[in-house]
Amino acid sequence: MSAGQVQTVQIGASAIPGMKPVLYLVGMVLIVTSAMMLFPLMVDLYHGDTDWQAFGIASALSATLGAIMIFSGRGGLQSGLTLRQAFILTPMSWFSVALVSALPFYFSGYGVVSGSAPDAIFEAVSGITTTGATVISGLDDAPPGMLLWRGLLQWMGGIGIIASAIAILPVLGIGGMQLFRTESSDRSEKALPQIRQIITTIGAVYVGLTAIAVLVYWLAGMAPFDAVVHALSSIATGGYSTRDASFGAWEANGIQWFATLFMLSGSIPFVLYVRGFAGEARAFWDRQVTTLLLFLGVVVIGLGLWLTLSGQYAIEPAFRHATFNVVSVVSTTGYASADYLAWGNAAIGLFFGLTFIGGCTGSTSGGIKIFRFEVMAVMLRTHFMRLLYPNGIFPRTYGHRKLDDEIVGSVVAFVAVFFCCYSVLTIALMAMGLDFLTSASGAATALANVGPGLGDIIGPAGNFGALPDSAKWLLSFGMMLGRLELFTVLILFVPRFWRG
């Protein structure tokens, strides 16, 4: 969808006059997805792998479905989008892309995804939501086209969620995101007058960071193909790798340190890059960014010292593995440089807690997001001060802006619903016969879009392939639910929404 079309959302609309605009925009997204499938098709053709046929069939089906939807919705955008149409568009576009993106996996001749709808859907949803959980083993020998497609899926999902966080979610008022509606438009418009230009510039930054990552990985010793795939998933904070050992396969030449920087670059608001390139000297002196870096610094130093003093690593590898894996989990990338489950129960508890954090809003990261923890901290401080001084006046502010009741209520509602959904997912997975650690970490990593869970089955040294099909379907829904900030999906289950 274009930025100009997103900007036409009308907040005061009270009905759904038609589905034409939604069908048109979803059809456009499917056409783009069809075109992206041609890249892995050509790669497989070049390498003589017969899986090119799977991409050819999937691309044709996606293009056909997209063309039908565009034809059915032609002329529907002339009056813009209503609020309810915007609510429908967001999940419908993501679910549609996930469905057609699963086709190459389903039609391929490799691994558990071949001919398996639950596995193919799981892999595609995990890719487009930049979760990075996988059901595929033997990645070292997988067809190159499939490996590239996994990276492209995460790359598309990354730029998709950035565009949504800037142009759609603040307008819909999801989970306190309205806090960034005025901030993103006001500050960015000082640099670029039109929202279309803002998103175009962000897209250029996204492509540029990816190109830099490709070059750095290649110069540091990765093969060109590995460099491309890992660059795609690093900037998208996705976590798909070309190796079963993930980044544990590369330890020389500082590759893991470089990967840490690229994961961080995808975890901060991309609108800050726009402001920075426009000449705003203090663009990256942002409250979210400083809080995120401070938090990461404290955790990394503590874990690095623990690994050193406990004798598990020497100083450099201790801090390298601590930095890489902490940043990977908090940024919801999901790479692994080592099996951190072997570091002891304290490390397991730490990484379980880190699963929920997430990066900054307006980035490619998932999770609850740093700003919501900051808002809750402001609320707690105000509450304690009122207990001490009942007659005092303590304004609630965030980044020199007043936190009104609407924003506070949205954040509280989001966090409450997040943990309600998490509890339901955990219990449902346990009802399917999974142990508590697998169920609890699986539910957390799905909703927070992190990737690996904990335990022997889905930990950083395992994958999700051994889970029952019912669990894969449930986790696929959980990944999409978390990626779309919960309410965008859950509101569709409210009867009142459809009655207008």
Question: pLDDT of 450-464, one tens digit each?
Answer: 989 998 899 988 899
- At 176 the pLDDT is 66
Please say if the pLDDT value at position 186 is more than 50.
no
pLDDT of residue 252: 86
Residues 84-113: what's their mean pLDDT?
A: 91
Residue 167 has pLDDT above 80, yes or no: no
Range of the domain at 461: 389-499
Count of structural domains, the chain: 1
- Does 441 or 168 have the greater pLDDT score? 441
pLDDT tier at 188, thresholds 50, 70, 90: very low
Q: Provide the pLDDT for residue 179.
A: 61
Q: What is the pLDDT of residue 7?
A: 41
Inside any domain, residue 68: no
Predicted TM-score (pTM) of this structure: 0.89
Q: Are 112 and 136 in contact, with CB atoms under 8 Å apart?
A: yes
Q: How far apart are CA 214 and CA 208, in angstroms?
A: 10
Per the CB < 8 A criterion, the answer to whether 437 and 351 are in contact is no
Cα–Cα distance between 41 and 50 in angstroms, integer?
9
CA distance 144 to 344: 36
Structure tokens at 324: 């890489």
Average pLDDT score over residue span 193-217: 86
pLDDT at 86 over 90: no
| 79/12 Cα distance (integer angstroms) | 14
Position 482 in a domain: yes
* Secondary structure E strands in 195-237: none
Q: What percent of the chain shows pLDDT beyond 70?
A: 90
* 228 Cα distance to chain centroid: 19
Q: Where is pLDDT greater, at 490 or 404? A: 490
Q: How much is the average pLDDT of 196-211?
A: 88
Q: Is residue 290 part of a domain?
A: no
Confidence class for position 178, pLDDT limits 50, 70, 90? low
- Identify which of 328, 270, 291 has the alpha carbon closest to the alpha carbon of residue 131: 328
Residue 278 has pLDDT above 90, yes or no: no
Give the residue with greater pLDDT, 492 vs 329.
Answer: 329
pLDDT on residue 183 = 44
Question: What does the pLDDT read at residue 18?
Answer: 72
pLDDT digits (tens, 9 = 90+) for 3-62: 334 443 443 333 444 788 889 999 999 999 999 999 999 999 999 999 999 999 999 999
- Predicted local confidence at residue 276, as pLDDT: 85
Structure tokens at 344: 């002891």
Phi, psi dihedral angles at 465 (to 5 degrees): -65, -30
**166-180, 292-306, 375-389 — which is least confidently predicted?**
166-180
Q: What percent of the chain has pLDDT over 90?
A: 61
Instruction: Note whether residue 52 is domain-resident.
Output: no
In a domain, 480, yes or no: yes
More confident residue, 75 or 258: 258
Q: What is the pLDDT of residue 199?
A: 79
Best CA proximity match to 86, nearest among 487, 413, 446, 477: 487
Assigned domain for 474 exists: yes
Q: How far is 354 from 331, CA to CA, in rounded Å?
A: 9
* pLDDT tens profile 311-356: 999 999 999 999 999 999 999 999 999 999 999 999 999 999 999 9
Greater confidence (400 vs 229) lies with: 229
Residue 439 domain-assigned? yes
Q: Share the mean pLDDT of the chain.
A: 87
Strands (E), 263-406: 397-398, 401-402
32 domain-assigned: no
Specify the higher pLDDT residue, 108 or 281.
Answer: 108
pLDDT confidence of residue 410: 87
What is the average per-residue pLDDT within 139-153?
A: 95
